[in-house]
A and B are shown apart, each in its own frame.
Chain A
Amino acid sequence: MIYTPYVENKSGIELLKDHKIDEVIIGCKELSRASKISFEEMIALIGECNNLGLKVLLEFDILVSEQDFNRTIKIFEAIPLDQLEAVRVQDVGLAYYLLENTDVDLHLITETGNHNLVGLKKWEEIFKSKLKRLVLSNELSWEKVKYYQENLSTPIEILGAGRILLFYTPRKLVSIYDRFEWVDDIIEVSATSEESPHKGFPVLENQHGTFMYHMKELFLLDRPDLLEKSGANFIRLDFRHQPEKLNTCLDLLASGAPVGELKEKVAPKSIRGYFLTNKSDVLFKKLKNYRIQRKDNDYIGEVIDSQKGGYLAIDLKNSSIGLGDTILIINPDGKEKELEIKTLRNTQGRDVSTKNSGLVLTEYVSGIWVKAQIYKKSAQDESHPAH
């Protein structure tokens, strides 16, 4: 398990070697979403890291539109590529371009989605030997990370400490309000909504657009047991928003400080996100009323009018209904009733013995509402269509 921090200035890089850090991530404003340093500063920093024997991973994580593509590549090509260990990209177009047109090694950032082994394996197959690392999503549980680590041949990396990016748009959403100050070509504000239980989302705008982060950081370093079990080869430390914390963190890790102290001093307001478990689909069941959802077996149609003391109007969905049939009615509240059809009329009020499609009226059933689902109840099959 190797720690991989971001660095954005020269101060303190000498200390990294003391903490057995041997690779760092460096970006610049032009190529990286969140970097605060200029291209020239980045080049100088890359040289400095090279001199100290630190491997440099270039962060090139912006998404690039067609009209900006060539200009962006030109900026990239001005970097001394021989001083880089690898280039980290999320835009698969950029990754593919680099694969076809350069000799650089790649770290593919698969943080948006890529929550299945089939897809991750395919990325390995596409980028072959040039792919040196897969940067995994921060929505994965440690067990899932372990599963991928065991089944992929490429080393994997996860975020161990840092801001959780929630939202990335190329649109400039904050600078339109001219009252906010820019610092280092960035505007940072705090966003709070009464419609959300959470308060104080950091929102940043820079030349690449607007970014919203979770108000709490992701911090997994207080669960070294699970990090170890996950098998993640690299743990990324992103303290770019509070650079002074990096050395504190590394010092505490090196001294074997209790995890409680580590969390308290480095990331007191933090969460573990989905690292323990991901159940982000369990609430889907509550998003709609499944009782009014049609089931396929023996489906006849839907009640579209219910006149007390009068009739039920059924919209037949290409299914027939006839006198003497027994139907099962499932109401939107889940209540079920059986009905033997004794009367059938068309909308002109004429009696019919059977109807194959369209509207048909039958006797009123107390307590049955519009949107109730109608199923044919067959004598041979007592199985419940809804089960």
Chain B
Amino acid sequence: MSRKIIVPELLAPAGSLEKLKVAIDYGANAVYLAGLKFGLRAAADNFTYQELEEGVSYCHNHGAKAYVVLNGFLHDKDLEDLPEFVKYLDEIKVDAVIVSDLGVIETVKANSNLEVHLSTQASCLNAASAKLWKSLGVTRIVVGREVSIAEARLIKEQVDIEIEMFVHGSMCMAYSGNCTISNFTQGRDSNRGGCAHSCRFEYSLDQKQSKVTSHFMSSKDLNGLRLIPEFSQAGIDSIKVEGRMKSHLYAGTVSKVYAEALKKYQAEGELIEEDIKRWESELTKFTHRDYAAANLIEKASRDTIYNDRENDGDYGMLGRVVEAQDDHFVMQVRHAFSPGDQIEVLPFSGENITIKIEDIFTLGGEKIEKTKPSTLVKIPTNYKLAPNFIVRGHK
């Protein structure tokens, strides 16, 4: 009998309750989300208390886990409201909190029985560090983005602790938690949610008479899809997708692709090139930078610098299905399209459905020639669709 293949958990970003549902529906095993404070994305929608409760229930009802990020480097005054919040998280049965600050860990432990995962923000790069954090009650380490899969395996073997690694998305160029450009140039604390992404700017580099203009601090995006076998063989417990600020299309597509790849690898013990190419193609159909494996196999080289602006991708999200009936569906429109256009509907699993649009109606039954963003339209079809399916289209 062949040995059962264990694959890592797929952990997806949930920037809002809607995106949480998208990630779970499209196959993520867990999501990470933030309350209105204490995280690193002050500009994200984030979750109110009731939304947290709804989000956690939604995850648990779908057999998934919900981790709440408390990974800001908090100041004394920020800690004042934290006990009440962590007690609430414990009450609603959040599966773990993701923390980078020792003061936060102590506050969580003093006020709850929540499991604590160490955020990548703490830049845990070696086994000695993991051993220290384990002694402080941490049960999982999200290793620094500079750690390779081989190093992560060594850390796991030496320390016997759960290991989580980033697998996809934007990369901080700096050691996480070691960048204060925003703090000192824009007055916004990057380590409490105010990152201004100054590393993505184009800079002129000068030395005497020599000059170069480059986005020299901008990293290519991470793409570890091909390395799923390596993650699995190294015993990595969770692979994480970056992007709480990113779109529904991103959350859905990435979750779907990685969920399928993990499932396939678990069932068959290998990934075939044809599938990988198809998935990789899917991963280009939303806004992204060029991809690289960053440090996952070897130290990130010069090829991992992205000297350009973000690539919008060939596809955009046209909207989402909000209601599905036997002969039509109602769609919330994000980007305009017209009769004659071809749209692609992404079911939660399996092949995408391509539909050539013949007619479009308002909810009042009036025929329209072109949809408008932020409206609802009714589209006749015989395909069996479901609410929350994402609809995309070629730009």
Contact = CB atoms under 8 A, between A and B. Distances in A.
Given A93-B126, A313-B376, A115 B173 contact: no
A153 interface: no
Contacts of B216: 173-174, 191
Nearest to B377: A305
Interface of B: 36, 42-45, 48-51, 54, 73-76, 78-79, 100-107, 123-133, 136, 144, 146-148, 150-151, 154-155, 173-175, 177-181, 183-189, 191-194, 198-199, 201-208, 210, 212, 214, 216-217, 219, 299-300, 302, 304-305, 322-323, 325, 330, 332, 362-365, 374-376, 378, 387
20 contacts: A64-B125, A91-B123, A97-B128, A116-B78, A144-B76, A167-B179, A177-B212, A180-B210, A188-B207, A191-B216, A193-B198, A195-B198, A212-B181, A214-B184, A287-B194, A288-B42, A293-B36, A304-B332, A349-B364, A359-B323
A119 B101 contact: yes
Interface stretch (A24-32, A228-236, A255-263, A294-302): A294-302
Contact of A122 (B103, B130, B175): B103
A123 B219 CA distance: 33
Contact of B129 (A93, A347, A349): A93
A310 to B, nearest CB: 6
Given A116-B103, A190-B206, A305-B374, A311 B188 contact: no
Given A280-B187, A307-B375, A119 B205 contact: no
A349 B106 CA distance: 56
A378 interface: no
Contacts of B323: 347, 358-359
Given A115-B76, A283-B187, A167 B178 contact: yes
Given A177-B214, A305-B376, A311-B363, A193 B173 contact: no
Interface stretch (A12-20, A65-73, A244-252, A320-328): A65-73
A193 B48 contact: no
Contacts of B49: 296
A94 interface: yes
A278 B144 CA distance: 28
Contacts of B198: 193, 195-196
B126 A69 contact: yes
A31 B73 CA distance: 26
A63 B179 CA distance: 14
Nearest to A144: B76
B146 A170 contact: yes
Contacts of A168: 174-175, 178-179
Interface in A196-213: 196-198, 201, 203, 212
A252 B203 CA distance: 37
Contacts of A59: none
Contact of A167 (B124, B126, B217, B305): B217
A67 B151 contact: yes
A96 B159 CA distance: 14
B124 A93 contact: yes
A-B complex: 10 closest residue pairs judged by Cβ atoms:
A93-B129, A119-B103, A113-B73, A93-B128, A119-B102, A280-B189, A118-B103, A116-B103, A66-B151, A287-B43
A219 to B, nearest CB: 14
Contacts of A119: 101-106
Nearest to B194: A284
B89 to A, nearest CB: 15
Nearest to B219: A171
A64 B127 CA distance: 10
Nearest to A313: B376
A191 B212 CA distance: 10
A165 B181 CA distance: 9
B128 A118 contact: no
A354 interface: no
Interface of A: 63-67, 69, 91-97, 112-120, 122-123, 126, 139, 144, 147, 164-174, 176-177, 179-181, 187-198, 201, 203, 212, 214, 273, 278-284, 287-288, 293-296, 299, 304-305, 307, 310-311, 313, 315, 317-318, 347-349, 358-359, 361, 370-371
B376 A359 contact: yes
Contacts of A96: 128-129, 131-132
A186 to B, nearest CB: 11
Contacts of A67: 148, 150-151, 154
Contact of A347 (B132, B175, B210, B330): B330
A349 B325 CA distance: 14
A284 B188 contact: yes
Given A115-B76, A122-B106, A370-B374, A187 B207 contact: yes
A181 B207 contact: yes
A268 B36 CA distance: 42
A135 B186 CA distance: 25
A279 B364 CA distance: 51
A307 B364 contact: yes
A139 B205 contact: no
A124 B148 CA distance: 31
A310 B302 CA distance: 57
Contact of B205 (A190, A278, A371): A190
Given A172-B302, A307-B375, A115 B75 contact: yes
Nearest to B46: A293
B300 A171 contact: yes
Contact of B191 (A113, A117, A147, A198): A113
A283 B125 contact: no
A288 B201 contact: no
Nearest to B204: A192
Contact of A310 (B130, B191, B364): B364
Contacts of B73: 112-115
A325 B304 CA distance: 57
Contact of A305 (B136, B201, B375): B375
A176 B302 contact: yes
B74 A191 contact: no
B385 to A, nearest CB: 14
Nearest to B373: A370
B48 to A, nearest CB: 5
B178 A93 contact: no
B34 to A, nearest CB: 13
Given A93-B125, A93-B130, A174-B216, A169 B103 contact: no
A304 to B, nearest CB: 6
A37 to B, nearest CB: 22
Given A116-B74, A349-B363, A361-B363, 6 more contacts: A170-B146, A177-B212, A180-B207, A189-B207, A304-B376, A305-B376
